[in-house]
Chain A
Amino acid sequence: MSQELGSLLSKKLESESIFGEIINLEPLTGGASKEIWKFEVKLKDKSEKYILRKGSGIEGPLAIKTSDEALIQKTVRKFGALVPEIISVSSLSEPLGDSYIMKFVEGETIARKILRDTEYKNALQNLAFECGQSIAKIHQTDIAELSFLPKKTVKEQLSDLYETYTVFNQPSPVFEYTYLWLKEQNFGDIDDALVHGDFRLGNIIVNQDGLQSIIDWELAHVGNPLQDLGWICGNSWRFGNTDKVVGGFGDLKDLLDGYNTVSEYQVDKEIVKAWQVFGTFRWGVICLIQASAYLNGTINSVEKAAIGRRVSETEIDIVDLLFLGGR
């Protein structure tokens, strides 16, 4: 398979005037829904590293097409956000399928390594602040250039999530309660902006100097941007470090201070909490969506099957936040 893929990559890169032998092509551990390959192109006197991100070409209930992710990365790069440079984009009808090639950025994405290994200790000190800054830069992107993206109000997003949950016919008392609670919350009065939609460890590249790049834009959309601030505070993305509210490594104050170096919007902490519950519910519904691909026979994958049993993680996080003083 990788030999065939290598020749497809070679042809695609030739169309971008990059000529060289494809070497060291290897699959990387990606998200549950994407194929990710790392490879090098051997040029005359050096070799350059690249990443191929390849999707199924199908837009999910929340996810956009992989080739559209590339268009977002190109746009946000112009507005100063840290993203890998896009080299080539392929549509579903091309031999390479719904995918794109970008430059490889050195660093680490695996959350547990970043949180555990001593080489990232210094980087972690300032990472919440840097994430706040980066999130604000993403939110400053001119959305007029991203008219292909879905645009949703909070109310629409919430009812979409609820509708999606009900389709699976697996009634959850906690999710029913959560939906009623969320409908009563204030999510902040702020202009629509580009929302990354999945900004957290795992989707950012970090090295010993700090944040290097933001990847995985498949849940991007246009809407209330404060969602990104609540999302990274969800316990699902603290990877066991529950005491560190921001991504398992930082404090909310640092995230918001970083945000305010770019944006003047003063974020109320109660609003972050509402978004945190929203995000946890959203992650629960995403787990249901992923598991349904296994349950309805579309994809026979043990990862997809297993993720169905992660819904209960979101339920306990929500009852902790709503009833037990969790933060």
Chain B
Amino acid sequence: MLLDYDRMGWLKVALLGFTALVAAFLLLPVVFIVLLSFGSSRWLAFPPPGWTLKWYQELFADPSWLEAALTSARIATMTALLAVLIGILASFALVRGRFRGREILRGLLLTPMVLPVVVFAIAIYAFFLRLGLGGTTIGFVIAHTVLALPFAIIPIATALEGFDKSIEDAAIVCGASPLEAKLRITLPSIRIGIFSAAIFSFLASWDEVVVAIFMASPTLQTLPVKIWGSLRADLSPVIAAASSLLVGLTLALMIVTALLRRRFQT
């Protein structure tokens, strides 16, 4: 009765207890960082001697944090747009195309997800140094789109595989042009996949550290590069404040995703 939840007896209690522990372990750093950001101790004593908002004040008083966040948002938005657009085109070909070497091409397009980022980071760094694209927004967007593309292709292709092509054909038979049928029938039907692709590729860029460390210039820093630099200097509570805002953003993103999924499904 090992897969019967209601008939597992003491084993269920033990496994549930263990699951609760692991959930607590997963939650611990996230909750800790938020509490820490309101603590008054500069040396991160915990539990803190008092509560304060001064780390948030320090964070907002330093324009370089906001600037880095805006840079990240700009690059991640462009990356998500590009990755989704290229991903949609590629997914149609991968799912519907019947040509030789399709599996190999699929594998090739997904390789950036598997190759250690550090290898790609130094490769693209050297390449962009030669092209003069190092430290530029366009360089960042290109490099991040390469990394984000697998995260865009996977959900879109999965959604497209689940879509019945005869509906699209029916639209064409009824007089729609092939392009019109795709834009008005197929794409709306796979919107959950497209939406997941947008979120995943946005996050792939927004959270990306390794390529960013190599590509960043003194005038162009993304948020992870800024955090990385501060972490290496000291463990200031200002980082905790910045991190807490990022946790808030993650939560907001999760809620939006859950709500949209619910709306899409009904």
Q: Do A and B come from one complex?
A: no
Q: What is A's interface to B at a CB cutoff of 8 Å? A: none
Q: What is B's interface to A at a CB cutoff of 8 Å? A: none
